[in-house]
Amino acid sequence: MASLNKVMLIGNLTRDPELKYIPSGSAVGILNIAVSRKYKAQDGSLKDDVCFVRVTVWGKPAENCNEYLSKGSPVYIEGRLQYKTWEKDGQKRSSLDVVAERVQFLGGKKKENAADDEAVPEEPAEGAAGGSSEEDKPPF
């Protein structure tokens, strides 16, 4: 049986990007984005539903995101879902994140010397990112 793991999102960064380097020297960036949708409730009123998503970006694209994006920046993300589990302080933790395969900057230039609109990451090392908050993050 065939399967498909593909995610496409357009949203805005909820905070500035985070950039770290793993021991091999590869850059890894974390983008936290808000994706919203509008719908009509049963009473006829218009409602807004917001989903917060953690996105991992690898290599030069991670460095570009860190340099040219900031809180509020609109982005288009194509990628795949990745489920992670780990243990911290004796407690099991898990997260469902997006690993970016394409990042496109959508808004105006937020920082000086804006990079190309599109960035394609290199393949990540297995088990290098996950978590949903600063204290929930597994080590790199």
CA dist 71 and 55 (Å) reads 14
Q: Which residue has the tokens 């990042």?
A: 103
- Residue 128 inside a domain? The answer is yes
Residue range 32-56, pLDDT digits in tens: 999 999 999 999 999 999 999 999 9
Give all strands (DSSP E) within 41-119, no chain letters. Answer: 46-58, 74-88, 91-105, 118-119
- Residue 120 inside a domain? The answer is yes
Whole-structure pTM over 0.75, yes or no? no
- Residue 32 inside a domain? The answer is yes
- Residue 1 inside a domain? The answer is no
Q: With bands split at pLDDT 50, 70 and 90, how would you rate the model's confidence at 69?
A: very high
Judge contact between 121 and 101, C-beta under 8 A. Answer: yes
- Residue 29 inside a domain? The answer is yes
**Picking from 55-59, 84-88, 103-107, 132-136, which range would have the lowest pLDDT averaged per residue?**
132-136
- Residue 2 inside a domain? The answer is no
Domain that holds residue 51: 7-39+46-136
Q: With bands split at pLDDT 50, 70 and 90, how would you rate the model's confidence at 109?
A: low
- Exposed e or buried b per residue across 6-26, where buried means at least 16 C-beta atoms within 10 angstroms of its C-beta: ebebebbbeebbeeeeeeeeb
Residue 113 has pLDDT above 60, yes or no: no
